[in-house]
């Protein structure tokens, strides 16, 4: 019977969890996918050990078996802080101004990918499906192939894939992309990132692209396809109806004392457009003085990747901007921006989302953005809030009934805040209904089933599909 072996940099075991909510959407989505499957989730524990031993820590938590390894300080510096978060992350988010090309980072990246391959290899049985996640582990599939793994293997990239003109600024880009072609399936969040990847294969490698998204390389067929990720709709909406969510809602509502509220929830990351968002809110206050004391922005921003300088800078920048706006518009009993540097459990977040008249999701570039979907799922359908969504988030391709904005345009976002706050109930309901249906129908279960189905490929049989609980009628 086939099992699913999921491999990602970060594994959501209590030991690795850190502050509530600081793990981001990948951990949230995979936890939910793994609960449904027999199988193993393998990755880094998030812990540091003086010297790498390869020791596997196996645990079973809430129905999910995890296997984790600890990494040594040089690994974390060169692989996680270095190549993953100072080279690939900014490059994949179109920020070549922040991208650092340090050869040591590349070496650390290859070393840690080799360590992942050595450690996970003994766990893989002949019938297993192997599902690798994200930019930390692009070459892992080819390293496993070199170790004799013949299983079907898939890669899902949670971030954007950059245009070819940007990607070619990466030294050894050819080697990186070629290593990805060891997978049987390569998945992206949206058609936009998929098309950028196919463009690279065509223009830089001269590979013909089949109409169905198949690429032929060295006699093998690789399926390249978009699989937009969703939220765990069932779990989230159950949580949104919990006492914890209601309490969080009521407390927050009481604290704003009749004022309208906008909410932002983002890891403290420059890709999330927080600086531009604060400036836009400041512009709204300046342009609408009659509303300036009647509107509050709650920004929840748990710190992320704090060892990387660009993340320290964004933190300083936001503190300065918050101080500036609050200094200008606060009075003794009121501050317009509540800027909170900590994470909250999702049940409480659900209560916060529901208490806010406007969800402000304005990344400059984002693979998907699950917060946008959670905001919709948390609303009261009778009196829903309005989602303002960046046109550069992957989720914008699905959430067409949101008020879409260009987050770089301070004026546009400021005007859209005004529009959202004044939107009549009927229009709010109409937009929400369409958004809600989309969030419900393309949830994380749908995403997982679609990807696993593709991973099975032509070898899927009713028996193996049943063993992975794939909908037999789909
Ligand atoms: O593990 P960290 O370094 O703390 O970062 C957290 C995660 O951030 C990124 O999340 C992405 O995945 C989401 C779910 O698919 C998607 O909605 C979002 O747009 C992406 O930014 C990163 O890709 C993950 O690997 C990290 O675990
Ligand atoms: O205080 C917080 C902040 C965020 N999150 C969760 O972290 C995820 C963020 O995912 P998203 O795709 O929006 O962005 P990412 O951080 O993965 O780039 C969402 O499920 C949020 O509910 C959370 O649980 N608590």
Query: Domain containing 188 — which CATH number?
Result: 3.40.50.2000
Catalytic residue among 158, 232, 401, 443: 158
| Mean pLDDT for the stretch of residues 159-173 | 98
- Whether residues 321 and 420 fall in one domain: yes
The per-residue pLDDT for range 57-77, each reduced to its tens digit, is 999 877 789 999 999 999 999
- Is residue 472's pLDDT more than 50? no
Distance CA 85, CA 245 (A): 33
Distance CA 268, CA 42 (A): 26
pTM of the full predicted structure? 0.95
Q: What is the mean pLDDT of the chain?
A: 93
- Whether residues 156 and 290 fall in one domain: no
Examine residue 117 and state whether it is found in any structural domain, yes or no.
yes
Domains in the chain: how many in total? 2
Distance CA 298, CA 447 (A): 31
Distance CA 6, CA 268 (A): 27
- Whether residues 211 and 252 fall in one domain: no
- Whether residues 185 and 41 fall in one domain: yes
What confidence score (pLDDT) does residue 76 get?
97
Examine residue 142 and state whether it is found in any structural domain, yes or no.
yes
The per-residue pLDDT for range 191-216, each reduced to its tens digit, is 999 999 999 999 999 999 998 889 99
Question: Is the Cβ–Cβ distance between 184 and 457 less than 8 Å?
Answer: yes
Both tokens assigned to 71: 């990494």
| Residue range(s) defining the domain that contains residue 205 | 4-230+444-467
Determine the residue of 239, 265, 302, 372 to mutate for testing ligand 2's pocket, defined as the one with the most ligand atoms within 8 A of the Cβ atom: 265
Examine residue 473 and state whether it is found in any structural domain, yes or no.
no
| Mean pLDDT for the stretch of residues 45-62 | 92
- Whether residues 164 and 300 fall in one domain: no
Distance CA 62, CA 267 (A): 25
Beta carbons within 8 Å of 271's beta carbon, 6+ residues apart = 89, 93, 95, 363, 364, 365, 366
User: Residue 66, SS3?
Assistant: strand
Beta carbons within 8 Å of 81's beta carbon, 6+ residues apart = 305, 307, 308
What confidence score (pLDDT) does residue 2 get?
75
Calculate the CA 188 to chain-centre distance.
12
pLDDT band at 471 (very low <50, low <70, confident <90, very high): very low
Distance CA 21, CA 25 (A): 9
Task: For residue 158, indicate whether it is catalytic.
Answer: yes
- Whether residues 319 and 184 fall in one domain: no
- Is residue 462's pLDDT more than 70? no
Determine the residue of 135, 346, 350, 389 to mutate for testing ligand 2's pocket, defined as the one with the most ligand atoms within 8 A of the Cβ atom: 346
Examine residue 472 and state whether it is found in any structural domain, yes or no.
no
Examine residue 29 and state whether it is found in any structural domain, yes or no.
yes
The per-residue pLDDT for range 271-301, each reduced to its tens digit, is 999 999 999 999 999 999 999 999 999 999 9
- Whether residues 255 and 302 fall in one domain: yes
Examine residue 129 and state whether it is found in any structural domain, yes or no.
yes
What confidence score (pLDDT) does residue 211 get?
84
Q: Which residues line ligand 2 (CB under 6 A)?
A: 21, 24-26, 28, 265, 267, 300, 302, 343-344, 346, 349, 368-371, 374
For the chain, how are helix, strand and coil distributed in percent, rounded to 5?
50, 20, 35
Examine residue 474 and state whether it is found in any structural domain, yes or no.
no
What confidence score (pLDDT) does residue 39 get?
85
The per-residue pLDDT for range 424-458, each reduced to its tens digit, is 999 999 999 999 999 999 999 999 999 999 999 85
Question: Is the Cβ–Cβ distance between 240 and 347 less than 8 Å?
Answer: yes
What confidence score (pLDDT) does residue 437 get?
97
The per-residue pLDDT for range 85-125, each reduced to its tens digit, is 999 999 999 999 999 999 999 999 999 999 999 999 999 99
DSSP 129-182: EEEEESGGGTTHHHHHHHTT--S-EEEE--S----HHHHTTSTTHHHHHHHHTT
What confidence score (pLDDT) does residue 23 get?
54
pLDDT band at 3 (very low <50, low <70, confident <90, very high): confident
Catalytic residue among 134, 366, 401, 443: 366
- Whether residues 189 and 311 fall in one domain: no
What confidence score (pLDDT) does residue 110 get?
98
Determine the residue of 11, 16, 22, 24 to mutate for testing ligand 1's pocket, defined as the one with the most ligand atoms within 8 A of the Cβ atom: 24
What confidence score (pLDDT) does residue 21 get?
45
- Whether residues 417 and 463 fall in one domain: no
Q: Kindly report the protein residue whose alpha carbon is nearest to atom 8 of ligand 1.
A: 24
The per-residue pLDDT for range 374-394, each reduced to its tens digit, is 999 999 999 999 999 999 999
The residue with tokens 């996918």 is 33
- Whether residues 209 and 244 fall in one domain: no
- Whether residues 160 and 12 fall in one domain: yes
Examine residue 8 and state whether it is found in any structural domain, yes or no.
yes
DSSP 304-349: --TTSHHHHHHHHHHHHHHHHHHHHH-BTTB-SEEEE-S---HHHH
- Is residue 38's pLDDT more than 80? no
What confidence score (pLDDT) does residue 474 get?
33
In 10 A of CB 108, how many CB atoms?
23
What is the CA(108)–ligand 2 centre distance, in A?
Answer: 28
What confidence score (pLDDT) does residue 53 get?
95
Q: Kindly report the protein residue whose alpha carbon is nearest to atom 15 of ligand 2.
A: 24
What is the CA(270)–ligand 2 centre distance, in A?
Answer: 15
- Whether residues 164 and 277 fall in one domain: no
Q: Which residues line ligand 1 (CB under 6 A)?
A: 10, 23-27, 29, 134, 158-159, 229, 304-305, 366-370
- Is residue 28's pLDDT more than 90? no
Q: For the chain, how big is the Rg over CA atoms in Å? A: 22
């Amino acid at each position: 019977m086939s099992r699913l072996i999921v491999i990602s940099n970060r594994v959501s075991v209590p030991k690795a969890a850190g502050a509530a909510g600081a793990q981001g959407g990948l951990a949230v989505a995979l936890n939910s996918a793994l609960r449904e499957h027999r199988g193993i989730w393998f990755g880094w524990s998030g812990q540091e050990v003086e010297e790498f031993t390869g020791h596997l820590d196996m645990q079973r938590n809430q129905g999910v078996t995890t296997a984790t390894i600890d990494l040594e300080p040089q690994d974390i510096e060169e692989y996680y802080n270095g190549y993953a978060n100072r080279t690939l992350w900014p490059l994949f988010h179109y920020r070549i101004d922040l991208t650092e090309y340090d050869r040591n980072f590349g070496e650390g990246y290859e070393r840690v990918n080799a360590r992942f391959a050595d450690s996970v290899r003994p766990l893989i049985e002949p019938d297993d499906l192997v599902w690798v996640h994200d930019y930390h582990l692009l070459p892992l599939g080819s390293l496993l192939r070199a170790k004799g793994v013949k299983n079907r293997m898939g890669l899902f990239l949670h971030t954007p894939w950059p245009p070819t003109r940007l990607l070619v600024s990466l030294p050894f880009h050819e080697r990186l992309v070629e290593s990805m072609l060891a997978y049987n399936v390569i998945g992206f969040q949206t058609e936009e990132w998929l098309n950028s990847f196919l463009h690279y294969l065509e223009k830089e490698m001269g590979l013909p692209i089949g109409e169905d998204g198949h690429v032929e390389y060295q006699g093998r067929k690789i399926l390249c396809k978009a699989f937009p990720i969703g939220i765990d709709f069932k779990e989230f909406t159950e949580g949104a109806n919990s006492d914890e969510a209601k309490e969080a809602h009521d407390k927050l509502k009481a604290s704003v004392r009749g004022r309208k509220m906008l909410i932002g929830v983002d890891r403290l990351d420059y890709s999330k457009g927080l600086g531009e968002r604060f400036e836009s809110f400041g512009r709204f206050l300046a342009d609408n003085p009659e509303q300036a004391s009647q509107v509050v922005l709650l920004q929840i921003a748990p710190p992320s990747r704090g060892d990387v300088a660009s993340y320290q800078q964004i933190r300083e920048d936001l503190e300065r901007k918050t101080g500036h706006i609050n200094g200008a518009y606060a009075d003794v009993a009121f501050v317009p921006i509540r800027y909170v540097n900590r994470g909250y459990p999702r049940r409480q977040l659900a209560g916060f989302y529901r208490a806010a008249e406007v969800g402000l999701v304005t990344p400059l570039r984002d693979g998907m953005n699950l917060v946008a979907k959670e905001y919709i799922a948390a609303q009261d359908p009778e009196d829903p809030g309005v989602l303002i969504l960046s046109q550069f988030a992957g989720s914008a391709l699905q959430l067409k009934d949101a008020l879409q904005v260009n987050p770089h345009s301070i004026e546009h976002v400021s005007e859209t805040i005004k529009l959202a706050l004044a939107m009549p109930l009927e229009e709010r309901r109409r937009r929400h209904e369409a958004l809600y249906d989309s969030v419900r129908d393309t949830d994380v279960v749908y995403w997982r089933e679609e990807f696993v189905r593709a991973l099975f490929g032509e070898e899927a049989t009713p028996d193996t599909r049943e063993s992975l609980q794939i909908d037999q009628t789909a």
